[in-house]
Chains A and B, each alone.
Chain A
Amino acid sequence: MRSDPKDYELVAPGSLQAAVGLLARSPGEWLPIAGGTDVMVQYAAGKLPSRKLVSIWNLAELRSIEVLANEIRLGAGCTYTNIREHGVIGREFPMLSSAARWTGGIANQNRGTLGGNIVNASPAADSLPALLAYDAELILISVRGERRLPYAGFHAGYKKTKLAPDELIRAVCLPRRFSGYVCHARKVGSRNAQAISKVCMAALGRVAGQTVEDVHIAVGSVAPVPLRLSETELMLRGKVINESLVSAAKKMAVAEIRPIDDIRSTAKYRAAVTGNLVAEFLNLLSADGKA
């Protein structure tokens, strides 16, 4: 423990309104903390610059999972355990369930929240490619009211988001329109549990015969932000899957990412594995078309 608790303030507002009220009074001064699986690690390491913490862990308004006719609305305070144990999510958004299972160990999953994962904005976060692939939207809340925006584009740069200093994420909305899609998600980490991803991918698509009708491919850990491979998707749509298309898609995917060398892996390895995962997904898609 490398921080001195005496240097930190913590408040725990009793309601969501009170929490956003506090943020509005001095925007940017208070750091919201939910499960704290990222913030508290920085705190214990003596690396947390914010000295004022506002706990939003106990806010019931953020903990619900609503299943609506056309979308599922997950409160930002849902934990990975809430997500992986939810039946509808398991059936309709299996890649999000898998990502929840891959995040940290079970004790982290009991504490870490989806909203926290988004705001922490690590390019290696496991759940984010799934949210991108599923065309998730975010509902943000502040004293000024709520606003809804697509999750794609929310990350403005490495560890930067479009969240205003007085805002919180209220909910994450997943459109229920991917039944019949082939899904393929993989996490490539340094071990099978408790690993930070070197590359992770969530992809879904639909073919008619061997022709790609729709495809979404999202990757993490290979750029400053989690990415949708939009160029690769564009190139694939309407095409017949064959060996040359797969190899072209691999090349294009590699061209779209910006992997780096760090203490966990190398840029060239990350690029090669990204290409391989895209190819693996397309081969599954093709097999589905033949089935």
Chain B
Amino acid sequence: MNHERIVGTAVPRKEGREKVTGKAVYVDDMVLPGMLYGATVRSQIPRGRIKKITFETSVAWSEFVIVSAKDIPGKNCIALIGDDQPCLASDSINHPEEPVLLLAHPDRHALRKAVDAVSIEYNPLPAIFTMEESERGSEIVWGTDNVFKTYLIQKGNVDDVWSRADYIIEGEYSTGAQEQLYIENNGMVAAYDAKQGITVWGSLQCPYYVHKALMALCDLPAEKVRVVQMETGGAFGGKEDYPSMIAGHAALLAMKSGKPVKIVYDRAEDMAATTKRHPSRTRHRTALSRDGKILGGEIEFTIDGGAYATLSSVVLSRGAIHAGGPYYWPSVRIRAKAVATNAPPHGAFRGFGGPQSIFAMERHMDRIAQVVGLSPVEIRRRNFLQPGQTTTTEQVVRELIDLGKLLDRAISVSEYQTKKQEFAIENGTGATKKGIGIAAFLHGAGFTGSGERYLSSVVGVEGCADGGVRILVSSTEFGQGTKTVLCQIAAEALGLRYEDVTIAQPDTTEVPNSGPTVASRTVMVVGKLVESAARGIHQTLKLSGMLGDSYSAEEFRAACQAYVAGHGQLRSWAQYDPPPDVFWDDEKYRGEAYAAYSWAVYIAEVSVDLTTYSVSVNDFVALQEVGRVLHPVLAIGQIVGGVAQGIGFALFEKVIWQQGRMQNNQMTNYIMPTSSDLPPIRVFFEELGNVHGAFGAKGIGELPMDGPAPAIVNAIEDALGVRFDSIPLMPEDIYDAITARSLRGEDEVASVIR
């Protein structure tokens, strides 16, 4: 399998040189002649109706361009899945960061005073801030019942298992909001011209999402909307849907003023107003046999979507499908629900519902192990999905995955058993307690269910006049290495040198819609299309008689040059074609949820300081099967970076809410890990390959976000003998739990565990 020359090697990152020299151009580095700077006036209350807007006389308003909902030429919404989120509030306010007015001025320093000089009077309405309040329905803040979406996944007859069960084990688990905290804040530049229409340049993941939103908002045909991705300083899902909002705002100001307008958020605004990971609550009720085999269970998965539907339905779907983990459930009923509250809408963040429901599953497995009297290792081993068995959506596992083998290797490299024994002795004395914890999990690559069929992505590859090859995709680079890996794939497919292949900067006037850069789909799905489009170039050259079956890079170059000289253009397109054996039922939520899964076992070692109740992660083993690793350095980078974010999710990153508003919207007060806070993160790969992905690749980007939190919290329970079912788990929570235990007494704790 490893006869490839380019995939599997650490070629230099395509845009690497620009990045290390500071020459890479991000949106805030861009200046257009006559450009204005834009700012957003936001609501200050969580819910109500606008009564009156007053412009204080301290500001020279005639110098400003002012846009309100009345200036919107098209539909006042950010078109996405549903169209419920307004671009600018005209009457109703549903969360405390809702955009109401837009201002623009040539001097960006003049804007803040102007924003502060707009005062809005409201008729306030009662607001709700928790999933429980939303479910009670005492206030209906969205639709008729506060519910954005529900799913029901049913396999077998779970109602029958309870009477046969030797153990019935229940648990409730929750996760908090998490800020993506890309280091580059969101931003857009827009320019308008009556003839050409609107152009936006920005920091974004999904050019065609922005394109669709601008067409609806500005009432323009497709050809009069152009979206260009600038170098993007991190995204992690945080630049999936909100860029459409900012692009819309910049476009409205540009249309009204006739001048280019730049809107770049500062950190405080970005953190407060843009999306975060959905807070979640998962309830498990599981039936087990005496020997620790899962007989069946019920899982209730609920997420807080915030004020508008945005991406909640799809986050919910992925969370629900991943809720059963990498285990075999003879029967299961999963009820999933996304509810509305009066917080800014929650959105995409690496893992997309998976980290939430997998946290619950993997904490629950440790709880099951205790009750049944098996080790965390053994309980998992006995329940792992095997090839030929079916998942919770009754997808047959066709991959030849051996999770038991992954588990054995992770246990061996982490020295799990030795450490278990050492810690049992060491923890008897001293103010530091050590523990070790496991998480086993899977992550589906690509859009869920029929998603890829609906997307129907198109990819182009062109032969250039100079004989080189250029990839045309809307898939974006924001650190993961999209450009590099897609170029590797094309070079490999065509037998060219890596340097012979370039990739176009995503610009909707130049590249086809290869789908959004989300859902761990780029290398697997788009990569496969790039491979096939690249082969199409060879086919064309071959059919034209300019190139044989075997050729050197120089011969290819010459043939390509000759073809372009003769025909003017050499292009090859590939469109997604769903595999024939894939079946998915959108109604029953049953079938092949994903074309392929990545699988992993992570092991975390922690120590808890009982003087300060703080946790240190001392060692971290991340072992995964992600198909073929196309670029070892980038792949390790994805895993380590994801684990670091997962450690943050578990132990550091807490959004402090007050009336739906983030209070700690500063980098000093929202705590992400620094280099001094992370353990050595040891990355290991198994490579089984994958028929659906380019050169055997599967998805990798989101996977590492799923496992760290449960592995760490399992390790903390191992260290302290105290259960924690909610993250972020802060030292304050550990203190509270330890104090509560000493008040209750040891025996009672034991009975709680049983």
Contacts and interface: CB of A to CB of B under 8 A. Distances in A.
Q: Do chains A and B touch in the complex (CB under 8 A)?
A: yes
Interface of A: 1-6, 45-46, 105, 186, 188, 190-196, 198-199, 263-266, 268-269, 272-273, 276-277, 280
Contacts of A264: 669
A281 to B, nearest CB: 10
B611 A190 contact: no
Contacts of B416: none
Contact of B109 (A1, A198, A273): A1
15 contacts: A1-B266, A4-B109, A188-B614, A190-B671, A191-B677, A192-B674, A192-B677, A193-B676, A269-B613, A269-B732, A272-B613, A272-B739, A273-B735, A276-B610, A277-B611
Contacts of A188: 612, 614, 731
Contacts of B663: 263
B736 to A, nearest CB: 8
B366 to A, nearest CB: 26
Given A1-B266, A4-B113, A273 B612 contact: yes
A233 B112 CA distance: 50
B110 interface: yes
B676 A2 contact: no
B611 A280 contact: yes
B268 interface: yes
Q: Which of A2, A199, A268 has the most CB of B within 10 A?
A: A2
Contacts of A105: 674
A6 B109 contact: yes
Interface string B738-752: 010000000000000
Contacts of B610: 276
A4 B112 contact: yes
Given A5-B109, A273-B611, 10 more contacts: A1-B266, A6-B109, A186-B612, A190-B671, A192-B677, A193-B677, A195-B671, A199-B612, A264-B669, A265-B732
B656 A268 contact: no
Interface string B664-682: 1000110101111100000
B703 to A, nearest CB: 25
Interface in B665-703: 668-669, 671, 673-677
Contacts of A1: 109, 266
Contact of A269 (B113, B611, B669, B731): B731
A252 B676 CA distance: 34
Contact of A2 (B112, B656, B668, B736): B112
Contacts of A272: 613, 735, 739
A265 B732 CA distance: 7
A268 B735 contact: yes
B652 interface: yes
A105 B417 CA distance: 38
A80 to B, nearest CB: 16
B266 A2 contact: yes
Nearest to B672: A191
Given A4-B113, A273-B612, A273-B613, A263 B676 contact: no
Given A191-B674, A269-B735, A196 B612 contact: no
Interface of B: 109-110, 112-113, 266, 268, 431, 610-614, 652, 656, 663-664, 668-669, 671, 673-677, 731-732, 735-736, 739
A120 B656 CA distance: 25
Given A263-B664, A266-B732, A191 B612 contact: no
Nearest to A5: B109
SS class of chain B's interface: helix, strand, loop or mixed?
A: loop
Given A269-B731, A269-B732, A272-B735, A46 B611 contact: no
B612 to A, nearest CB: 5
B110 A194 contact: no
A45 B676 contact: no
A191 B671 contact: yes
A277 B614 CA distance: 13
Nearest to B669: A263
Nearest to B611: A276
A6 B268 CA distance: 22
Nearest to A265: B732
Given A188-B612, A276-B611, A193 B109 contact: no
Contacts of B739: 272
A186 B112 CA distance: 40
Nearest to B664: A263
A199 to B, nearest CB: 8
A210 B113 CA distance: 63
Contacts of A265: 732
Given A1-B266, A4-B110, A277-B611, A193 B735 contact: no
A139 B62 CA distance: 53
Contacts of B110: 4
Nearest to B652: A191
B482 to A, nearest CB: 31
B371 to A, nearest CB: 31
A192 B735 CA distance: 19
Determine which residue in B611, B612, B664, B669 has the highest number of CB atoms from chain A within 10 A of its CB, and name it: B612
A259 to B, nearest CB: 12
Contacts of A273: 611-613, 735
A263 B658 CA distance: 10
Contacts of A3: 109, 112
A190 B652 contact: yes
Contact of A46 (B112, B674, B732): B112
Contacts of B113: 4
A191 B676 contact: yes
B264 to A, nearest CB: 11
A194 B732 contact: no
Nearest to B651: A191
A190 B664 CA distance: 13
A280 B430 CA distance: 11
A260 to B, nearest CB: 13
Contacts of A190: 652, 671
Nearest to A273: B612
Contacts of A280: 431, 611
A57 B652 CA distance: 35
A3 B611 CA distance: 42
A101 B290 CA distance: 55
B650 to A, nearest CB: 13
Contact of B676 (A186, A192, A196, A198): A192
A46 B618 CA distance: 40
The 3 closest A-B pairs by CB, nearest first: A192-B676, A4-B109, A193-B676
Contacts of B611: 273, 276-277, 280
Contacts of B677: 191-193
Contacts of B676: 191-193
B153 to A, nearest CB: 39
Nearest to A280: B611
Contacts of A196: 668-669
Contacts of B431: 280
Nearest to A2: B112
Contact of B675 (A193, A195, A198, A277): A193
Contacts of A193: 674-677
A67 to B, nearest CB: 31
B608 to A, nearest CB: 13
A192 B614 CA distance: 11
A36 to B, nearest CB: 16
Given A4-B109, A269-B613, A273-B611, A191 B673 contact: yes
B212 to A, nearest CB: 33
B174 to A, nearest CB: 19
A6 to B, nearest CB: 7
A7 to B, nearest CB: 9
Contacts of B664: 263
A272 B614 CA distance: 13
Nearest to A264: B669
B751 to A, nearest CB: 26
